[in-house]
Structure formats: C-alpha cells, structure tokens
Amino acid sequence: MIYLLLSILASTCIFIIFKQLGKYKINTIQAIVANYFTACLTGILAYSETINVTKIVSEDWFWGAIFLGFLFITIFNVMALTAQRNGLSVTAVAGKMSVVIPILFGLYAYQESLGWQKGIGIILALVAVYLTSVKTQTNKVNLKSLWLPIILFLGSGTIDTTIKYVESSYVSQNDVPVFSATIFCFAGIIGVGTLIVQAIKGTFKFDYRSIFGGILLGVVNYYSIYMLLKALQYEGVESSTIFTVNNVAIVMLSTIIGLIVFKEKLEKKNWIGILLAIISIVLVTLA
C-alpha cells in the first residue's frame, strides 16, 4: 500500500504547487510545459530497458498515449486555474468526483448494472461539485465560478477512464514508466506549440522562474501517475478500494492544507459539499 500512500501525497502536492505558482505570479503555462518534459525525462530514467523509439511507436498503447498527452496539458491548465481562483478544496473535489465518469463508461461499454447505490453516488457527486464551487452568499448560479470546476470534472474523468482502459488492455507492468513518459512527452510537445503561437502573436514573455517550478512539478506529477498505476497493479487489492482510499484521502488532505496553510474560507454549503463528496466516492466506487 506504500504506492497508494505516495500517490496520494504526490497528487496533493500538485494542487499545492499550482497554488504557489499563482501566489508568486509565475507563468503557469510555461511551468506546465517544463513540467511535462521533466516528467518525461523522469520516466525515461526510471525505465530499466533501452529506449527504442520504433518499438514505442508500434506499441498498441501509442495512440492512446498521444490522446492522453493532449488531455493532460489541457486539463492541467484548467486544474492550475481552478486551484488559483477557486481554492484547493474545490480543485480536489472537482477532480476526484470525476470518478463517476469511468463508472458511467463502464455502464455503457461493459453493460454493467446501475444499482441504487451507484445512482445515488453519481447524483451526490454532481451536487458536491456545485456546493464546493460556490463561494458567494447568493441563490443565483454564478457561471464564472462554476465553469472551471465543471471542465476539470469532465476532463479528469475522461483522463481516468482512458488511462484505466489503455493500461488494463495494452500496457504491461514493465512498460508503465515508458508509457507514462510517452504521455508526458506529447503533452510537452503540444505545450511548446502553444508557446510558439504566443510568440507569433507577440504575447510571449519568458519567465525563468517557470523552469524551476516546472521541474518540481514534473517530478511530482510523474510519480503521482506512476504510483497510482503501480497501486492498481497490486494483486490482492481491488481497484475500487484503491480509488476509494486515493480519492477520499486527496480531498481530505487538500482541504485540511487549504484551511491551515492557505487560510481558505469555507462556508457551510462548502462543508456540506465536501461531506457529500466523500459519501459519493464511497458509494460509487464500492457499488
């Protein structure tokens, strides 16, 4: 279970790093690009075999890695903005409640049954995302505060679904490092394209601090994925148990750190949302 513990700590650290990037006004996009190339290099160094590009391109998981690379950099930008604008608790809940999306995919793709427990969990998850996202004392729906958590919710769910499908169907245990590195490589390449577009438009301004932030973020990011994949491959523990402990722990730890370290203010409805989030994760993953 050490892999699961390390994945929880690494995932929580990602939220904290994003918060610090915003605090010190470090260029987030540049840091994210540096992060992915660092994560790619970390994966290559962790791979015990010789890197063979031709072999990687011919792997069944290669195109899935390209798709995940696109999703990674897109949703990572959304995650950074959510952490900086909405707080750690909102980011953690919106990201981790996305566990309902792999459940829905399973219902469609594998004709799994939808029991009352799973159905209630999905509904509670959606309510939880809303309650933890709303920070103002108003009865009106504030779309400006909701759109980032909603996109994070949908994007994270798509990533989790794709990773689980590709990993379980095509990735061997020894290929986990190079599979992860390939995802990060393509995410970095796409990120460079974004920076090139900025340069053409004349809006690019290099922030040297983003390199240092990106290196730190990259190492943590790689191991958050790597450790989770290793935990899922551990025999004797069901994946539902792994996801339950992982998601609940990240939500709780991020919330505690947000309150104690960053002095984030939570209203009564935010606390209710967090409670519903925990309940929904347990209901959905144990259904």
- Mapped onto helix, strand or coil, the DSSP state of residue 69 is helix
Residue 8 near residue 222, CB atoms below 8 Å: no
Q: What is the pLDDT of residues 231-250, one digit of tens each?
A: 877 776 666 667 777 877 88
User: Residue 267 has which token pair?
Assistant: 């209203």
Domain count along the chain: 1
Q: What per-residue confidence (pLDDT) applies to 139?
A: 46
Percentage above 90 pLDDT, the chain: 31
Per the prediction, the chain carries an average pLDDT of 84
Q: What is the pLDDT of residues 19-39, one digit of tens each?
A: 888 889 999 889 999 999 999
Residues in the chain: 287
Task: Measure the N-to-C terminal CA separation of the chain; round to a whole number of Å.
Answer: 22
User: Residue 145 has which token pair?
Assistant: 């505060």
Q: What is the pLDDT of residues 47-100, one digit of tens each?
A: 878 888 999 999 999 999 999 999 998 998 888 888 788 877 778 778 777 878
- Its domain, for residue 7, covers 2-286
Cα–Cα dist 282/287, whole Å:
8
The counts of H helices and E strands in the chain are 12, 0
CA distances (Å), origin 162, targets 2, 166, 264: 24, 6, 33
pTM of the entire structure?
0.79
